[in-house]
Structure 1
Amino acid sequence: MIKLNLDCFNLILKESRLDKKSLYSCLLVNKEWCNLVVPILWKKYSWYCNHKESEKKIFIIILSCLSTSSKQFLFNNNIKLPSTIFLKPLSFNYISFCEFPRAGIIDNIKDMIFKDEILNNFDYSTKSNLLEQEIYKLFVSQCKNIKILQWKTSQPLSLFPGAKECFSQLNNLYISIDSVSPNSLYEMIQICRDLNGLMIYNCSQNLPGLISLIDAQKNLKKLSLFKYIKKEYCKELSNAIKRKYNTLNDLCLHSLNIISPSFLTSLINLKNLSIYNYDNDNIRGDIKEFQHYLMISEFSELEYIDFYGLSWFEELAILIEKTKGNILQVIINSINKNAENTGLLIKAISNNCPKINRLYTHLEPKDFIHIKSLLLNCRNLSRIEFDSLNILVNENYNFGDELLNILTEFSPKSLIYISLSGDWKFSTDSFELFFESCRNRNTNLLYFGITHESYITRDHMLIIRRYINEGIIKGSNCV
């Protein structure tokens, strides 16, 4: 029998979709297979344990990999490692196979070590910090060319031995600014200049180290700003974003009250724009400035729009009218049930977005008139989700029938995911006609859902169940 080249077999294993159990079976074949499979198992599954006992075994191996000097250092500081750790050299350098651990993994290791100890706050803080330091030193020294780092620790990762080999190829950096020391930021700048994605958490003020880190990146494409705590207006951060106009094409904002939105007009290459507002009190404040800059901005290459907690229907309509027709997805989830100009958004999409495949927006029945042109002009639509604005109280009129009749007559064959508001009230006849139209044009719906279900009766549910049984609908929240 011809022996399979190990390099070929290694490539097959890496590219395969074998689950954890199947890989374990391969591991037991012989020593050669074991040598190939162990790195793959640790790369894919080291941080994805199904239960506590498996997690504990992983942690024991990690602690066993600590150097003799680290173990002695911890012992000298009265930090007792489990008696089950391996005292002899391990068969593999397991740490070198792992993805760099998230902060939560390190926390879980510390919890395992200290769970049976009764410590006051000072002793716990001191011991926890020392153990965390040695574990991070281990990973920094053994992990090479990692692509993703979640930096949520005060440990000076960029100063540890091996930091250059570990972080020089970083592609995506998640960083909690409130946890990281300024000196570490400056050291990371010397190592890491090729980030594609930078996700920043918990910034509350202008930090020169952060500004320098952004400026140092030569090809920054994605920037996300999360969970800001406002202490001062971060004007320099806004200016730093503006200076990345040439490379930045993906922007995600989770707070609107920390930076000036003046940078928006500079981002001429933007393709993805996500803005989330979770602060109801912010609606009449800083948000007005964002609305202004959004209206005067021009993102001609825009492809994805995702807004939450905002009612910027008119602003979005104006923005979409200035694009080149490349938009693929629009999601706008308003928290203002009295929003206006929803029809303007539908018309703008209908006239300017021939490639769009997903649309989530709020509507009023007066907007239904625009849905026909939307369906006729946007023949690539595969997913629509229409939610109500003002909840209607007229129980004697089936507002939803008008919408379903339009969908029945004009839906493209590509449309396979539909979610509609139950506040509009549908007759069972309109349900029947719509599902029969799907049968007639050989369209099986992946999903048909009703939100709120205010007027959905048992008869509606029975109809949906029948069409599921017939294979016209794959899934629904109504059965």
Structure 2
Amino acid sequence: MAVPILWRDPAKIFGCCLNIKPFKNIFNVILSHLSEESRDYLKIQGIDVFKEIYHQPLFNYISFWKCLDLCFLDYMVALTDIEENMKYILGKKILKLFINSDSKFFSLSISELQYLNILGTEQCFSEIEYFYSDNNANSNILKGLAKINTSIKKLEFYIMYIDDDDHGIVRLIEVQKSLKEVIFRNSRGTNETYCKLLENSLITYADSVQYLRIDWKPITEFLSNFVNLVSLDLMDHSYDYFKTWNNLEKASFPLLKFLKSERVPPWVLANLIKNTKGHLIKINIFNYQDVDDGRLIKAIYQNCPKLNYLRLQLSNEYVSDFESLLINCQFLFKLDIIGMDNFNWNKLFDILTKFSPINLYKFTFSAFNYGGLKLESLKLFLDNWNERHPVLLEIHSGDITIRDLMKKYKTKGVIKEYVLSSDEWLYIQMDY
């Protein structure tokens, strides 16, 4: 049983590995499936990558591969020590091992692969439920998929560059029948024409889509149609932070449970939270330019009685409002606070020890400026927390002397486990 499970989706298991050795080992197993005829052909082309391949595999491991990540395969080909034009030839041969009359995939990830041919492979991709692509992919491949697949439930698309003429992804979206989760990533400034096309392509699925992420300010009022959203993730990559967010004003999300945002103004989020119906259980917010002016934290404690996780930036001016939040959000069990500027940690810690709900014991504290979280402040917090549930504590601060304090209070039983990092910015970037 272990072999089919491990080989169902190797990219998921090894895709984040920093060591290239596992990639090479998997690649050697893949190469071992090539026939003698294919090996001879590659050698004639000047491609000899079989030095570590000794015998045919015991299993047809590739037959267990149900989640086809061509980005993963392309990366392994890229690791070979052969010329670029040879990598193209090798990639085509390897792809034939995966795509044949016996193949059936439920997940497909593609990128800039010019040698993928959908024609004649209908049976392989007709039941895909997860699809990832970026706009480096050949638009004709996406249009080809649109002719054979209507079963995608989760779709992820990454805008790598601006291209007004790339309508392949729009066509693929338009033919789907079971779409529930959509992720639009964007690493570039907003192209309103292109983003508007993507927004309009989703309107048909307003009733079925429950999980949505978009990395730009909404160009249209399309979000006002998505009344069944359970999760909303907003990120703004534009350079005009204060540009109007009017297209969110009419949006109401009565079923929303998860809200995540980056670079979205606090007052926009406050209005959005007011238009939920008290079902939010997780809020994760980070802004580079702005901290709350009081409206956001008030909207949270007035409209989120079921909240169990909160990540938020705090400034000194509104830290007192945290008392109301702790009193009204009695289901909180994890709190992630980013202190801005010369944040008064003593005041926050005093409020936490006096008003924290009984289930709140997981904390992450990050000082936005190095050295902002002092040893004395943390010691006071831990001393006053002594009679409560032992805490799980994650600290991001420039004060390296905190480590000894963590060890001491773990021995005392006040801290159950802890993580300490001096790199606040790494934390902020990676957490998102």
| TM-score bracket for the superposition, by shorter chain length | 0.7 to 0.9
- CA 1:84–1:351 in 2, change beyond 3 Å: closer, same or farther? closer
Per the alignment, residue 325 of structure 1 pairs with 278
Per-residue deviation, residues 403-438 of structure 1 (Å, max 9, x unmatched): 22211111112111223455677694x655543443
Q: 1:65 is matched by which residue type in structure 2?
A: H
Q: 1:251 is matched by which residue type in structure 2?
A: L
Per the alignment, residue 29 of structure 1 pairs with none
- CA 1:309–1:100 in 2, change beyond 3 Å: closer, same or farther? same
Q: Is it true that 1:409 corresponds to 2:366 in the alignment?
A: no
Report the Cα offset of residue 139 of structure 1: 0.8
Report the Cα offset of residue 366 of structure 1: 2.2
- CA 1:44–1:203 in 2, change beyond 3 Å: closer, same or farther? closer
Are 1:464 and 1:478, in contact at CA under 8 Å, matched by a contact in 2? Answer: no
- CA 1:151–1:143 in 2, change beyond 3 Å: closer, same or farther? farther
Q: Give the whole-Å Cα distance in 1 for the aligned partners of 2:166 and 2:362.
A: 45
Q: Pick the structure with greater CA Rg.
A: 1
Report the Cα offset of residue 42 of structure 1: 3.5
Per the alignment, residue 144 of structure 2 pairs with 187
Per-residue deviation, residues 324-348 of structure 1 (Å, max 9, x unmatched): 11101111111115x452x211111
Report the Cα offset of residue 465 of structure 1: 3.6
Q: Secondary structure of 1:446's match?
A: strand
Give me the TM-score of the superposition, normalised by structure 2.
0.83
Q: Give the whole-Å Cα distance in 2 for the aligned partners of 1:177 and 1:344.
A: 38
Q: Give the whole-Å Cα distance in 1 for the aligned partners of 2:230 and 2:314.
A: 25
**Identity between Structure 1 and Structure 2 (%):** 26
Q: Is it true that 1:42 corresponds to 2:3 in the alignment?
A: no
Once the two structures are superposed, the pairs formed by residues 21-36 of structure 1 within 5 Å of their partners are: none
Report the Cα offset of residue 206 of structure 1: 4.6
One of 10, 22, 34 as aligned partner of 1:66:
34
Per the alignment, residue 253 of structure 2 pairs with 299
Are 2:186 and 2:237, in contact at CA under 8 Å, matched by a contact in 1? Answer: no
Once the two structures are superposed, the pairs formed by residues 162-201 of structure 1 within 5 Å of their partners are: 163-180=121-138, 182-201=139-158
One of 372, 375, 384 as aligned partner of 2:326:
375
Once the two structures are superposed, the pairs formed by residues 188-337 of structure 1 within 5 Å of their partners are: 188-201=145-158, 202=160, 204=162, 205-227=164-186, 229=188, 233-234=193-194, 235-256=196-217, 260-279=219-238, 281-284=239-242, 288-289=243-244, 291-310=245-264, 312-337=265-290
Q: Give the whole-Å Cα distance in 2 for the aligned partners of 1:155 and 1:478.
A: 43
Per-residue deviation, residues 260-307 of structure 1 (Å, max 9, x unmatched): 24212222211211122345x2324xxx24x21223311111111111
Report the count of equivalent residues: 410
Q: Is it true that 1:435 corresponds to 2:388 in the alignment?
A: no
- CA 1:73–1:305 in 2, change beyond 3 Å: closer, same or farther? same
Per the alignment, residue 74 of structure 2 pairs with 106
Are 1:137 and 1:157, in contact at CA under 8 Å, matched by a contact in 2? Answer: no
Are 2:119 and 2:144, in contact at CA under 8 Å, matched by a contact in 1? Answer: no
- CA 1:298–1:50 in 2, change beyond 3 Å: closer, same or farther? closer
One of 96, 99, 110 as aligned partner of 2:63:
96
Are 2:182 and 2:213, in contact at CA under 8 Å, matched by a contact in 1? Answer: yes
Q: 1:317 is matched by which residue type in structure 2?
A: A
Structure 2 portions without partners, runs of 5+: 423-432
- CA 1:368–1:156 in 2, change beyond 3 Å: closer, same or farther? same
Q: Secondary structure of 2:92's match?
A: helix
Q: Give the whole-Å Cα distance in 2 for the aligned partners of 1:81 and 1:331.
A: 47
Q: Secondary structure of 2:289's match?
A: coil
Report the Cα offset of residue 475 of structure 1: 0.9
Per the alignment, residue 3 of structure 1 pairs with none
Per the alignment, residue 360 of structure 1 pairs with 311
Report the Cα offset of residue 109 of structure 1: 2.8
Are 1:158 and 1:188, in contact at CA under 8 Å, matched by a contact in 2? Answer: no
Are 1:95 and 1:143, in contact at CA under 8 Å, matched by a contact in 2? Answer: no
Q: 1:387 is matched by which residue type in structure 2?
A: I
Q: Give the whole-Å Cα distance in 1 for the aligned partners of 2:29 and 2:102.
A: 16
Report the Cα offset of residue 71 of structure 1: 4.1
Are 2:292 and 2:315, in contact at CA under 8 Å, matched by a contact in 1? Answer: no
Per the alignment, residue 472 of structure 1 pairs with 414
Q: Is it true that 1:446 corresponds to 2:392 in the alignment?
A: yes
Structure 1 portions without partners, runs of 5+: 1-9, 11-36, 393-398
Q: Give the whole-Å Cα distance in 2 for the aligned partners of 1:435 and 1:323.
A: 36
Report the Cα offset of residue 107 of structure 1: 3.0
Q: 1:238 is matched by which residue type in structure 2?
A: E
Are 1:137 and 1:160, in contact at CA under 8 Å, matched by a contact in 2? Answer: no
Are 1:326 and 1:353, in contact at CA under 8 Å, matched by a contact in 2? Answer: yes
Q: Give the whole-Å Cα distance in 2 for the aligned partners of 1:71 and 1:462.
A: 59
Are 2:77 and 2:87, in contact at CA under 8 Å, matched by a contact in 1? Answer: no
Q: Give the whole-Å Cα distance in 1 for the aligned partners of 2:300 and 2:373.
A: 26
- CA 1:211–1:461 in 2, change beyond 3 Å: closer, same or farther? closer
Report the Cα offset of residue 318 of structure 1: 1.3
More helix per residue: 1
Are 1:206 and 1:236, in contact at CA under 8 Å, matched by a contact in 2? Answer: no
Q: Give the whole-Å Cα distance in 2 for the aligned partners of 1:252 and 1:45.
A: 26
Q: Give the whole-Å Cα distance in 2 for the aligned partners of 1:420 and 1:237.
A: 37
Q: Secondary structure of 1:475's match?
A: strand
Report the Cα offset of residue 60 of structure 1: 2.9
